[in-house]
Amino acid sequence: MNTYTKKLRRLSQVGGQKKIDSVGATKHHGEYDRAMGVLLEARRSWDAMSRFRKDRERCKRYTYGDQWKDVVNVDGKTMTEEKYIMEQGSVPLKNNLIRRLVRNVLGAYLKQTKEPVCVARDRDEQRLGETMSTILQYNMQLNSMTEIGARSMEEFVISGLTVQHKSYGVREGRLDCWTRIVNPSMFFLDSNSQDVRGWDVSIVGEIHDIDLQTLFREFAGSRDECERLREIYRYARDGEYVSQYFSDFPDFGYSDARTYDFFTGRDPRRCRVIEVWRKETKERYLCHDPNNGEVYKIETEDYGKMVEAVNRERMVMAAEQGIPEEDVPLIEATWFVDDYWYFYYLSPFGH
C-alpha cells in the first residue's frame, strides 16, 4: 500500500488577493512602527519648510522695523549688518515703508468686511437660507472672525501663508464650531503640492506644545490613560529638570531666534503633541442607483447587503409587478480606489 502525506497549503496562498488599504497595510507592523513611519513622513515635510520658516522670520523683521539684522561675513568675522555699519562710524538709518503698506492693506480689508449670508438656490428653501445666515453670523461673532480675518490677512501679506484651524467641540463649556489661527512656524504640509486650492496635498499637520493639564483634558478618557500620558511626558512634571531651563525662555510677543525643532520643544514644561492628517487609500465601490438617481460610495464589505441583496429584492418586486428583467432599475457598482483623510495625534516618542 502506498502512503502519502497530504500537502497543507499556506493560508496566504489560498486567501485571495489582499485588499488595497494603506492604513490596514501598516497595522501588521505594530502600533509603534506605524506611528514612527507617520512621524518620519511628517518630519520630511517639516524639514522641507525650513527655508520658508527662515524667510518668514526675516520678512517679519523687515516689516516691524528690524531691518539690519542679516548676518554678513567681513574679513572672516561674522556680524550683523547693523554692527558692521556702526563699526564704520555710520548710523544704520531705517525708513520703514513695508509696515505702512501692510497697514494700508489691513485698513482696506477691515473697511469691506461684511457678515456672511447664505443664499438658497431653491426658492422653496429660502427660509433655510435665512436660518443658516443667522447661524453663520452668530458663529462669526463667537469666534471674533473680524479680528481673525484681519490677522490672517496680515500674516498672508508678510509671509505668503496663512493657516486657520476649524474644529467642532466643547470649549469653555460650550459645544460649537471654533476657529483659531495656526502659527505657520508650527505648521507643515506636503512640499510637492502645487494646487493653490490644496487638492493635491497628501499630508498636513501642526505641532502643539501644551501643558500637562490640557493634555489630560484633550486626550485622556480614564485615570489609567492619565497615568500613561504622565509617564510618556514625565519630564514635563520633573521640577528639577524644568528649573534648569527657566532662564532660557523667549520674551513674550517675540519670536525665538533659535532653530525650530520637530521632535523637541523649547519649554520642557510643555508636552509636544504632533497632529498629522494624511491622505490614505482603500478600495471601495462607486454605486449608481437609477431608481432615484443617487450616486454614492460604499465599503467593499457592504457590497453584499447594499448591492446584491437590494438587486435581488428588486428582481422579485419586478416579477410581481410584471416588469421585464431588462427594465429593472438595478444598482450599478464599480470598484475603484478611493482616498480619504486619516488623522493621528502622536508624541515625539512614537506613542
Domain boundaries, the chain: 18-49+191-229+270-351
Among 13-17, 48-52, 118-122, where is mean pLDDT lowest? 13-17
Among 89-103, 176-190, 330-344, where is mean pLDDT lowest? 89-103
- Give whole-number Cα distances, 9 to 5, 14, 183, 186, 221, in Å: 12, 7, 56, 52, 45
Cβ atoms 139, 127 nearer than 8 A: no
Among 38-42, 56-60, 93-97, where is mean pLDDT lowest? 93-97
pLDDT at 14: 44
> Which amino acid is located at 130 in the chain?
E
| CB-based burial label for 9 (10 Å; 0-12, 13-18, 19+) | exposed
Banded pLDDT at 15 (limits 50, 70, 90): very low
- Give whole-number Cα distances, 230 to 54, 60, 187, 212, 220, in Å: 34, 37, 25, 8, 10
**Residue 253 backbone zone (phi > 0: left; psi -120 to 50: alpha; other: beta):** left
pTM of the model: 0.79
The three three-digit cell numbers of residue 281, written as one number: 487609500
Residue among 49, 33, 45 nearest 274 (CA): 45
